[in-house]
Amino acid sequence: MNSKNLDLSKSKIQINRNTSLIIGILFFFLGIFDFCLNNFLGTNITSFLPRFINFFTPLIFGVIGLHFIRIEFSGIKILDSLNKNINPSNFNAALSLCIIFLIIFSLPPLLNWFIFDANISGDTKEACTGGGACWVYIKVWFNRFMYGMYPNAEQWRINITFIAVLSFMAAGFFVPAKFRNYLSLYYTLILPIISFILIYYLISGGSFGLEWVETGAWGGLSLTFIVSFFSLIFCFPIGMMLALGRRSDLPVVKYSSLSFIEFWRGVPLITVLFMSAVMFPMFLPDGTYVDKLIRVVVAITLFEAAYTAEVIRGGLQALPRGQYDAAKSLGMGYWKLHIFVILPQALKLVIPGIANTFLALVKDTPLIFVVGLLEVVGMLNLAKTNPEWLGFSMEGYVFAGIIFWIICYSMSKYSQKLELKYKTDR
C-alpha cells in the first residue's frame, strides 16, 4: 500500500513538472513571438495595454516562462544545465532574455549584410550591386593583404618559409622524453636562429639564385606573422631576465632592471616605433645601416619585454619564501634554484598574464605603419584609398577583424590548454 502511494506521489510530481514545463515553454516563446512581431512586422499583440506596459510585455512573458521552467533537478540534462547557467533566478532570467532579444534583433541584418545580400562573384567594383558586403573587394586584394607588395612570382618563397618554420615549431612536440629538458633551449635559441636564416635566405633572397626583395616590399599578414613571431620569442627570455634582475640583491642589477622596465613602460609604443625609425639611425656611425624591419622588431621586443617582466615578477612574488629556503637547504645556487625550482612554479602561475601580454603584442603590430611597413591593416588602409575601390573600407576592416580574432582566439585557447596541463592545486 505504501509503495502504491509512493508511486502515485511520484507520478503526481512528474505531472506537475511536465505541466509547469509546458506552461513555461509557452510563455517563453510567447515573449519571443511578441518581440519578433513588434520589431520585424510592426504588430503589437498587447497594444490594448498602456504603452509603458506593452513595451515590456516580451520581457514579462519571457521571465514568467523561465520562472515556470526553473525546475530543480528535472532529470533532463539540457534543461538542468540551462537553469543552472542562464536561469538560476528571475533577475538572471531577465538578463538572459535581454541578451536573447539583442541577438534576435541584430542577427537578421548582420546575416543579410554578410551573406544574403553580399556580392562574391566578379572582379570589378561594378560587380557589387547589392546592399550587402562587397566581398569582391577582398577577393581582388587578397593577395596583397597576405603578401603586401612582395612580387607575385616570388610569393612561393614566403609559403615555403612559413611551412618550414611551422614544421620546426611542431617538431618540439615529438621530441623523445629524454630530450624534453632541452626544449626551452630549442625554442628560445635554436628555433629563432633557424627561422632567421630561413627568412634571410628565402624571403629576402639575394643568394642561391633567388631575387633580392627588400623589406619595404614585405607586407600583409605575412609581415604580421614575422614581426609577432620574433617579438614573442625574444621578449619572453628578456622579460624573464629583467624580472629576476629587478628582484636581485645586487643594487646595480636591480636598479638597472628597474630603470629599463619603467622607461619602456612609460612611453607609448607608437613613440618607440617612431624613435626606432627616425632617431635611432642618427646615432649610428657613418656607413652603418640597420634594416628598418630589424629596428621595428627590436623596438617591439624591448617594449613588450618590460611588460612581460612585470608579469613574471608577479609570479615570483606569489611563491612562498619556503620554496627558496627549501631549495637553498639542498645546496642549490642562484641559477640552479631559479631554473629548476622557482621559475617552473612561477611561470605556471602567470600563464594568463603572459598570454594577455602576447595577445596585446599581436594586436599592436598594425602600429608599424608609422615607420612605413604595411602589415595586413596597413595594406587595407592602402587599398581603401585606391580610386577604383573607394567606399569599401568596412569590408576590409571586418576582414582584418576576423583574421585578428582567429589568431588571438587560437592563442587564448592554447594558453587555456597550458593552464589545464600545468594546473597545480593551490
For 259, counting Cβ atoms within 10 Å of its Cβ (0-12 exposed, 13-18 middle, 19+ buried), the class is exposed
Q: Do 303 and 373 lie in a common domain?
A: yes
Q: Do 139 and 98 lie in a common domain?
A: no
- What's the Cα-to-Cα distance from 251 to each of 238, 254, 264, 311, rounded to whole Å? 19, 5, 20, 21
Q: What was the pLDDT predicted at 183?
A: 77
Q: What was the pLDDT predicted at 300?
A: 92
For 345, counting Cβ atoms within 10 Å of its Cβ (0-12 exposed, 13-18 middle, 19+ buried), the class is middle
CATH of the domain at 279: 1.10.3720.10
The Cα–Cα gap between 143 and 182 comes to 39
Least trusted range by pLDDT, from 113-127, 174-188, 221-235: 174-188
Q: Do 142 and 89 lie in a common domain?
A: no
Q: Do 75 and 145 lie in a common domain?
A: no
Q: Do 69 and 104 lie in a common domain?
A: yes
Q: What was the pLDDT predicted at 374?
A: 86
In this structure, is residue 349 part of a structural domain?
A: yes
Contact 128, 388 (CB under 8 A): no
Q: What was the pLDDT predicted at 303?
A: 93
- What's the Cα-to-Cα distance from 280 to each of 28, 179, 216, 218, rounded to whole Å? 65, 42, 18, 22
pLDDT category of residue 338 using cuts at 50, 70 and 90: confident
In this structure, is residue 163 part of a structural domain?
A: no
In this structure, is residue 197 part of a structural domain?
A: no
Q: Do 402 and 277 lie in a common domain?
A: yes
Q: What was the pLDDT predicted at 214?
A: 87
What number is the average pLDDT over the span 219-225?
91
Q: What is the DSSP letter of 49?
A: S
In this structure, is residue 159 part of a structural domain?
A: no
In this structure, is residue 412 part of a structural domain?
A: yes
If one counts the domains in the chain, the total is: 2
Q: What was the pLDDT predicted at 424?
A: 66
Q: Do 380 and 262 lie in a common domain?
A: yes
* Domain boundaries, position 47: 3-115
- 255-258 long-range contacts, CB within 8 A, separation 24+: 257/309
Q: Do 18 and 88 lie in a common domain?
A: yes
Question: In DSSP terms, which residues pair with 220 in a beta bridge?
Answer: 375
Q: Do 251 and 361 lie in a common domain?
A: yes
The Cα–Cα gap between 118 and 120 comes to 6
What number is the average pLDDT over the span 145-157?
90
In this structure, is residue 271 part of a structural domain?
A: yes
Q: Compute CA 158 distance to the chain's CA centroid, rounded to the nearest angstrom.
A: 24
Q: Do 367 and 335 lie in a common domain?
A: yes
Stronger pLDDT, 50 or 351, i.e. the higher one: 351
Q: What was the pLDDT predicted at 425?
A: 58
In this structure, is residue 167 part of a structural domain?
A: no
Is the pLDDT at 384 greater than 90? The verdict is: no
Q: Do 101 and 219 lie in a common domain?
A: no
Model's pTM, two decimal places?
0.81
Contact 241, 313 (CB under 8 A): no
- Give helix 77-85 / helix 57-69 axis angle, nearest 10°: 130
Q: Do 227 and 279 lie in a common domain?
A: yes
Mean pLDDT, rounded, of the chain: 86
Handedness of CA 296, 298, 300, 302 (dihedral sign): negative
Is the pLDDT at 426 greater than 60? The verdict is: no
In this structure, is residue 129 part of a structural domain?
A: no
What number is the average pLDDT over the span 94-113?
92
